[in-house]
Amino acid sequence: MHLPRPAATLAVALLAACGTSASAPAVTDAHKAVSFDEAAWKPLREADIPNDSMGASIRRGLYLLRYTRDSLPAYATSSLNCTSCHQDDGLKLTAAPLTGSHARFPKYMPRSGTVIALADRVNYCFTRSLAGNAIPVGSREMTDILAYLAFISKDVPIGTKIAGTEGILPMKDTLVGDVARGEALFTSKTCVTCHQADGQGAGPYPALWGPKSYSVGASMTRHERAASFIMHNMPQTAPGTLTAQEAFDLAAYINSHPRPDSPGKELDWPKGDAPADVPYDTPGHQAFRPPPVLPRANPGGGLVPNPPVIGHAKR
Ligand code: HEC
Ligand code: HEC
């Protein structure tokens, strides 16, 4: 006959396990920090995707990042794909890499003033960087994108910030960009060849301003962020050939043009800690060189609500 284990026996066993005798380890192996060799770590790539159901989800996620506007035209309404900025399938170190992102979330985001999950961070890029609409958090597409982000974060311990993989590299100096100089560089440095003189791009070349570009609420509208992206990644055929001043001039020129509005942006950085070059008013911050904004077709779709609190509702 099966008898329930007497409570006293269990208590004795627990006491023994928690004892401070020299022979008992303070923590079991399972609780020890996983050793992680940051320098040796390499993210998995497309060729490593397994041929099973999990692999199918990872592959769909990768293709959603690469072909966002063709795959999700109702949500990605600009000419950009996720990989327009997160280049090389999100793996390129100088282009806001997504490697390890799965291990960095949930995370406090100063812009929203709250701790957000990775799915919400993905939706911030859908609504702001792609100037599109948030995708349903419980959708297969979101799950697939998260599956890919987990895949390129494999073996990175939770909470680890791998050097150089968080965000666009900070610029060493904050220089002042000059719009007229930037306009001249836009032609002389061959940007026009791919992004066109009117900045609207064509085919695989994304728009840099106008209704099909990133919204005013995207990080790329900050001169420093754009300058770093441009200096390290553009022109695509000869990255690394621009000086920091040229990159700031180009950023100033590109970000002086009209672009889609970002609903709710006036509530950003609610704690008053907006970076100096944010181009719109936020609590305690005055817009830095604000561009003209274009109305959005579906302003509601461009919002990512903070996670709602459900525990305190009165019955
Ligand atoms: C216009 C450029 C641009 C596009 C397009 C874009 N992003 Fe981003 N994304 C950024 C920038 C910039 C950051 C923040 C990096 C920083 O702060 O320096 C970022 C951050 C992220 C992060 C958080 C990374 C981390 O570890 O903190 C995720 C996840 C992300 N993007 C996913 C996406 C997805 C998915 C798409 C497509 C739906 C997308 N992004 C499209 C520019 C872009
Ligand atoms: C040979 C073609 C080519 C040239 C020249 C070029 N780009 Fe790009 N650019 C691209 C492509 C393609 C992307 C998207 C990334 C991808 O798909 O790999 C991009 C992305 C960008 C982005 C981020 C996405 C967006 O739409 O905002 C910026 C900003 C940018 N380029 C600025 C510039 C500037 C400034 C120059 C000139 C210094 C320049 N580019 C020259 C091809 C080019």
248 & 297 share domain: yes
- Residue 22 is assigned to a structural domain of this protein: no
Asked if residue 50 lies in contact with residue 62, where contact means CB atoms within 8 angstroms, the answer is no
From the CA of 14, how far away is ligand 2's center (Å)? 61
b/e 95-104 (16+ beta carbons within 10 angstroms → b): bbbbbbbbbb
Kindly state whether residue 166 falls inside one of the protein's structural domains.
Answer: no
pLDDT of residue 12: 40
Task: Report the share of the chain in percent with pLDDT over 70.
Answer: 88
Residue 23 domain-assigned (yes or no): no
Same domain, yes or no: 198 and 146: no
Whether 95 is covered by a domain: the verdict is: yes
- Contact call for residues 58 and 182 (beta carbons, < 8 A): no
Burial 248-279 (b: 16+ CB within 10 A, else e): bbbbbbbbbbebbbbbebeebbbeeebbebbb
For the segment 280-303, the average pLDDT, to the nearest whole number, is 97
Question: What is the overall mean pLDDT for the chain?
Answer: 89
Closest residue to atom 26 of ligand 1, CA basis: 101
CATH code, domain with 258: 1.10.760.10
Check pLDDT > 90 for residue 14: no
8-22, 155-169, 296-310 — most confident range: 296-310
* 207 and 146 co-located in one domain: no
**Domain boundaries, position 144:** 46-151
Say if residue 198 is in the same domain as residue 290: yes
Domain tally, the chain? 2
Q: Give 204 Cα–ligand 1 centroid separation in angstroms.
A: 19
What's the pLDDT at 146?
Answer: 98
Of ligand 1's listed atoms, the one at least distance from the Cα of 104 is: 26
Whether 22 has a pLDDT exceeding 60, the answer reads no
- Tell me which ligand sits closest to the C-alpha of residue 76: 1
The backbone torsions φ and ψ at residue 109, rounded to the nearest 5 degrees and listed phi first, read -115, 110
Over residues 266-289, the mean pLDDT reads 98
The full DSSP string for the chain is ---PPPHHHHHHHHHHHH---TTS-SS-GGGSPPP--TTT-----GGG--SSHHHHHHHHHHHHHHTHHHH-TTT--SS--HHHHSHHHHT-TTS---TTHHHH-SEEETTTTEEE-HHHHHHHIIIIIS---PPPTTSHHHHHHHHHHHHTTTTPPTT---TT-SSSPPPSS-PPP-HHHHHHHHHHTTHHHHH-TTS--BTTB--SSSTTS--TTSGGGSHHHHHHHHHHH-STTSTT-S-HHHHHHHHHHHTTS-EE--TTGGGSSTTS---TT-SS-BTTB--SSPPPEEPPS-GGGG--PPPPP-TT---
**19 pLDDT exceeds 50?**
no
pLDDT at 17 over 90: no
pLDDT of residue 314: 65
pLDDT cut 90: percent of the chain above it: 77
* Residue 84 domain-assigned (yes or no): yes
Q: 168 in ligand 2 pocket by Cβ < 6 Å?
A: no
Q: Is residue 169 part of a domain?
A: no
Is the pLDDT score of 162 beyond 90?
Answer: no
Boundary-marking domain end, from 132, 151, 170? 151
**32 vs 169: which has the higher pLDDT:** 169
Together in a domain, 281 and 206: yes
Residue 7 above 60 pLDDT? no
165 occurs within a structural domain: no
Distance from Cα 206 to the centre of ligand 2, integer Å: 7
Give domain status of residue 8, yes or no.
no
